[in-house]
Amino acid sequence: MAELPTRLDGLRPMIEELMRIGGTPGLSLEVMSNGTSVYEASFGARDTEASLPVTHETIFPICSLTKALTASAMAILVDEDKLTWDTLVKDVLPAFNSRDETIQNHLTVTDILSHRSGMAWCSNLVIGTENNILIPGKDGLEYINSQPRLLPFRTEMSYNNLTYNLAGYVIEEVSGISWFEFVQSRILDPLGLDRTYLKPPQSGIPDVTQCYNALDDASTVQIPRPKAGQDWYSGPSGGAWSCVRDLSKLYRTFNASVQHQFSTGKSATEGSPFKQVPHLTSAKIPMDQPSRNELSYALGWGRAQLPNRLGQIGINHSLMPDGMPVVGKGVPSQLVLFHQGSLPGALAIVILLPDTDSMIIVLSNSLALNDVPDWVGQLILEELLEVPKSERNDYIKAAHSSVTENLKWYPALVAELSSARKTGTSPRALESYTGTYRDDIKVFKIVVDLEDNQLYWRLQGLDSEKFPLEHYEDDTFTWLLPRNELSRRGRWVGSDQGPAFWKAIFQSSDGGRVDKLYWAHDTGVPPVELTKEENNSDCIP
């Protein structure tokens, strides 16, 4: 058999085809085997308009790969006896005051890092148009405190960005410095990662990718770059940016720490900033069950004992109704640690194989029609493992299938809204709906305006969040636009946004005045109630 670098380079045409199918202008990857970098490659453009190529140092949003950094920061504090893995959040963060009694009295550091709190995740409200973060940094903890619990406590994994932001607050309270300063000084600087940033890079930094959303035909449109962490909020859950050059240093050190600390029983490794690694990488909650082999979430990492399904933290999982393909058939079983990241304008994956000191990193600059880095990562993994040809998955077929499933979303949504609509109703005088509506903690608002006999709403009062409201039935309006238009505006679009998400439901008081607005901003979340301000003003900050 040919040498591994040659075999990996032979996958280039398939990788380019996966990018074309999904709609991804640029992609960067690196593969390490047995502690040595064996393949690095750059594909396409970091800026299509300027025809600038992706390089090994191109900086991409790494999205939820940030979570492992936040978990690692917490592990340093545990190792310094500043807290324990079982420390209650309320005992170290006085401002934590959840409305849910179970969460308030029983939520631990481990719970918030393992997605087992059962708390509502609310990402569709937090991330808006043009990659806006709609929750101000100053209000972030109060917003988390207000969220309900949707699932029984510690019974199943429910992916949650809010709890990773909560972890950021804990780190700041215990360490006495900001999450940004702590991760920078204790993890990034010791490793010499000079092209890794914990919030959007400042202008003038060279070789930073533009970001894109894919349209229905897999062409792409440039959108504003992710803003997670710019005003603090969403930084600890998904705000970091990096390049494969830096990440290879990071994960090479982490892999070595996994091997050393498990073999010696120690909680630290000389020359490594990573502490308590056995705790970081041990199973904390099952995911995607049933599963014959272990499939679980640790702390900032997914775990899968091969052969197994992968991709549970990305978007492909929801686009494969018959299930994700099983990876690693026909070769010796081994443990995979992995994580994925996704935001409008970016998708990413890292796959670690600690037993063989190997890794795969794939970064991309598009919210594609499927999770292109996921398919590319799994394709490379099967080559790395030397899976027999007869047992390998057809990732081109999987890519086409997942795109087809994705494109069913909008027409199915329109049909469902149409079939459920009550006919023959009329709205009130449109001006009766106008005003500023706020939630009960005064963190989130929706401003409703009337312009040329057309109602609009603006989330958080922002012009970039302005959408027309079309009458649906009674006092209910919809704000749905065609999928391509939503993509052009830099929004996340997908199957987690069902009919209720696209409805604005107004309600009147006994006196007939419209004074309430309800919006179900995430699947399974009770509609948020917003009350119209008495002075009918949208000028209050």
pLDDT at 539: 38
* Mean local confidence (pLDDT), 458-482: 97
> Are 334 and 356 within 8 A, CB to CB?
yes
Token pair 């079982």 is found at 86
Report residue 256: phi and psi, to 5°: -65, -35
- Percent of the chain whose predicted confidence (pLDDT) is above 70: 98
Q: How confident is the model at residue 362, as a pLDDT?
A: 98
Q: Is the Cα torsion angle 315, 318, 319, 325 positive or negative in sign?
A: positive
Rounded to whole angstroms, how far apart are CA atoms 490 and 132? 9
The structure tokens listed for 238 are: 């998904």
Question: What H or E segment, with its residue span, contains residue 111?
Answer: helix 109-113
245-274, pLDDT tens digit by residue?
A: 999 999 999 999 999 999 999 999 999 999
Average pLDDT over residues 22-42: 97
| CB contact at 8 A, 374 and 350 | no
Dist CA 437 CA 517 (whole Å): 7
**Distance between CA 62 and CA 211 in Å, rounded?**
12
Q: How far apart are CA 72 and CA 346, in angstroms?
A: 23
Residues 94-103, mean pLDDT to the nearest whole number: 96
Residues in CB range of 434: below 8 A, 6 or more apart: 448, 449, 450, 455, 536
Residue 474 burial class via C-beta count within 10 angstroms: exposed 0-12, middle 13-18, buried 19 and up: middle
Question: By the 8 A CB rule, do 98 and 107 touch?
Answer: yes
Pair 337, 303: CB distance under 8 Å:
yes
Q: E strands of 357-513, at which residues?
A: 358-364, 366-367, 435-438, 445-451, 454-459, 466-473, 476-478, 503-508
Domains of the chain: 4-49+61-407 (3.40.710.10), 430-532 (2.40.128.50)
Give the predicted TM-score (pTM) of the model. 0.95
Per-residue pLDDT band for 495 (boundaries 50, 70, 90) equals confident
In angstroms, rounded to a whole number, what is the distance separating the alpha carbons of residues 299 and 94? 23
The CA-atom distances, in angstroms, between 77 and each of 65, 105, 172, 173, 204 are 20, 22, 11, 11, 34
Tell me: cis bond preceding 354? Omega within 30 of 0 counts: no
Cite the DSSP H helix spans in 341-469. Answer: 372-384, 395-406, 409-420
Query: What is residue 329's predicted lDDT score, i.e. its pLDDT?
Result: 97
Average pLDDT over residues 390-413: 97
- Kindly calculate the radius of gyration of the chain based on its CA atoms and give it in whole angstroms: 23
Token representation of residue 314:
């990305």
For residue 85 the two structure tokens come to 């893995």
- Say which DSSP state 528 is in: E
DSSP state of 108: B
Q: What pLDDT is stored for residue 511 in this prediction?
A: 78
Identify the H or E element spanning 45.
strand 36-47
Answer whether the bond into residue 290 is a cis peptide, omega within 30°: yes
| pLDDT value of residue 98 | 96
Strands 211-214 and 220-223, sheet pairing: antiparallel
> Which of 193-207, 443-457, 491-505 has the lowest average pLDDT?
491-505
For range 115-131, the mean pLDDT: 86
Confidence of residue 536 (pLDDT cuts 50, 70, 90): low
Question: Residue 119 in contact with residue 162, Cβ under 8 Å?
Answer: yes
High-pLDDT (> 90) share of the chain, % = 92
Q: What is the mean pLDDT of residues 470-498?
A: 94
Q: CB–CB of 463/489 below 8 Å?
A: no
In this predicted structure, the answer to whether residue 365 has a pLDDT above a threshold of 60 is: yes
pLDDT in tens, 369-379: 999 999 999 99
> Per-residue pLDDT for 538 more than 80?
no
Distances (CA, A) of 423 to 240, 466, 468: 48, 27, 20
Mean pLDDT of the chain: 95
Calpha distance 60→362 (Å, rounded): 10
Q: Which of 255-259, 340-344, 507-511 has the lowest mean pLDDT?
A: 507-511
Answer for the pair 228, 238: CB distance below 8 angstroms, yes or no. yes
pLDDT of 537 over the 50 cut? no
pLDDT value at residue 120: 77
Q: Answer for the pair 258, 250: CB distance below 8 angstroms, yes or no.
A: no
Q: Give the tens place of pLDDT for each residue, 66-88.
A: 999 999 999 999 999 999 999 99
Q: What is the pLDDT of residues 281-306, one digit of tens each?
A: 999 999 999 999 999 999 999 999 99
In this predicted structure, the answer to whether residue 191 has a pLDDT above a threshold of 50 is: yes
pLDDT score for 124? 72
